[in-house]
Amino acid sequence: MGSTAKPQHYDRILLMVTLILLAIGLLMVFSASFVMAEESRGDPYYFLKRQAMWVAIGLIGMYIISRFHYKQLKRFSILILLLNFVLLGMVFTGFGSEMGTEARRWLALGPLVLQPSEFSKLALVIFTAAYLSSRRVNIHNFWTASLVPLVLVGSVFFMIQFQPDMGTALVVVAGSMLVIIFAGMPMTQVAGLSLVFLPPMAYFTLKEEYRMQRLFTFLDPWADPSSSGYQVIQSLYALGPGHLFGAGLGRGKQKLFYLPEPQNDFIFAVIGEELGFIGAVAVLMLYLILIWRGFQISLKAPELFGSLVAAGITFMLAVQVLVNVAVVTGAVPVTGINLPLISAGGSSVFFTLIGIGILLNISKYGREAAARKEAA
């Protein structure tokens, strides 16, 4: 008879890296925004206080979700998906808000402002994982395996891009496709699904004039330095003077009304300017550790559903980091993807922490399953 397995804990490395990134995020949000916040809001701590509030709420949510068995998500996956469609639909009603931009992406529910597309990332991963891990689904049959995810992912893609938010829509599609691939779907079907999504993606990219400008400006930002190339040029101006060790925390110049929204999508440029190459690489290394732990949790999950959910959440985080850094360094056209756990943004940090809470829960049960196997 084998010995009794000891109770297992969450993945402590994942938790530690998450907390370090949150701390860096709060520090850099304040550094990037205090001058602008003083000028526009009369309070240099305005963005810091908002971010700290959402971090606190997110950490509470992360703790709560990490205490519930992740398999409960499978039971409620249809309800989660329906809630996602309800929230996305409400954006186009009187509850929708533009938040000072031309994009209608937010829900104003009293004092609470949410971005439903951030919830979509989790909702689609959870439902797709639940559907493909069902015993009733033959993963090799297009009609039972591919059709339902295709319709649902396509529906969410169209609803998000009509806000418009093409960057988030592409992240949602990419994350859902990875779940499908991890489930073991034949590559012929994966290729077929990709071919279905490519034409509408190309169409919506080319139909909007500002997206066309971004596409061509990406090739030569200095061709239009005062308009479509402005953000990328200011970002590169921030990264260049950073050199090896940076100008020092709080001493960056590009955040002083040159770099648009420095506390949000372009916060990595502020990191590069103030903390230098060393600081920027250190942040990227933390993300690599987080992504590595996420995929390790996926590989060691006790069953298919947990493995697919962990892989989907981790891949979406990886895509966001990759795209954000690529935009800031001028490697890809500008798109509105923030830096997870670091950029200012309540909905983003909240739902990212909920996703990490799910990863922590899966890691606990994965370790317990491995311990039982070892003790048997």
Q: Give residue 115's pLDDT.
A: 87
The helix (H) or strand (E) run that includes residue 299 is helix 267-299
pLDDT of 66-82, one tens digit each? Answer: 999 999 999 999 999 99
Of 309 and 7, more confident: 309
Range from 9-13, 102-106, 316-320 that averages highest in pLDDT = 316-320
pLDDT > 60? residue 5: no
Mean pLDDT over each residue of the chain, to the nearest integer: 84
Q: Give residue 255's pLDDT.
A: 85
Please report which confidence band the pLDDT of residue 110 belongs to, taking 50, 70 and 90 as the band edges.
Answer: low
Which domain does 300 fall in, by range?
12-375
- Written as one string, the DSSP assignment of 177-237 is HHHHHHTT--HHHHHHHHHHHHHHHHHHHHHSHHHHHHHHHHH-GGGSTTTTTHHHHHHHH
Q: Give residue 218's pLDDT.
A: 66
What is the mean predicted confidence (pLDDT) over 214-223? 68
Of 195 and 326, more confident: 326
* Residue among 59, 301, 62 at smallest CA distance from 179: 301
pLDDT > 80? residue 120: yes
Contacts of 147 (CB under 8 A, 6+ apart): none
Question: How far apart, in whole angstroms, are the C-alpha atoms of residue 13 and residue 7?
Answer: 18
Please report which confidence band the pLDDT of residue 195 belongs to, taking 50, 70 and 90 as the band edges.
Answer: confident
Residue 191 in any domain: the answer is yes
pLDDT of 45-55, one tens digit each? Answer: 999 999 999 99
pLDDT > 80? residue 137: no
Please report which confidence band the pLDDT of residue 3 belongs to, taking 50, 70 and 90 as the band edges.
Answer: very low
Contact 209, 237 (CB under 8 A): no
Residue 59 in any domain: the answer is yes
Question: How far apart, in whole angstroms, are the C-alpha atoms of residue 376 and residue 354?
Answer: 33
Of 340 and 179, more confident: 340
Domain count, the chain: 1
Range from 91-105, 131-145, 233-247 that averages highest in pLDDT = 233-247
Residue 123 in any domain: the answer is yes
Neighbours of 258 (CB within 10 A): 15
Please report which confidence band the pLDDT of residue 21 belongs to, taking 50, 70 and 90 as the band edges.
Answer: very high
Residue 3 in any domain: the answer is no
Bridge partner list, 114: 107
The lowest-confidence range among 196-200, 336-340, 351-355 is: 196-200
Residue 51 in any domain: the answer is yes
Q: Give residue 346's pLDDT.
A: 86
Q: Give residue 254's pLDDT.
A: 87
pLDDT > 60? residue 7: no
Q: Give residue 228's pLDDT.
A: 67
pTM > 0.85: yes or no:
yes
Residue 6 in any domain: the answer is no
Q: Give residue 103's pLDDT.
A: 63
What is the mean predicted confidence (pLDDT) over 208-234? 70
Q: Give residue 2's pLDDT.
A: 46
Residue 7 in any domain: the answer is no
pLDDT of 153-177, one tens digit each? Answer: 888 888 888 777 777 888 888 888 8
What is the mean predicted confidence (pLDDT) over 5-21? 85
pLDDT > 90? residue 289: yes
The lowest-confidence range among 21-30, 96-105, 273-282 is: 96-105
Residue 278 in any domain: the answer is yes
Bridge partner list, 112: 109
Q: Give residue 361's pLDDT.
A: 96
Contact 45, 55 (CB under 8 A): no
Please report which confidence band the pLDDT of residue 285 belongs to, taking 50, 70 and 90 as the band edges.
Answer: very high
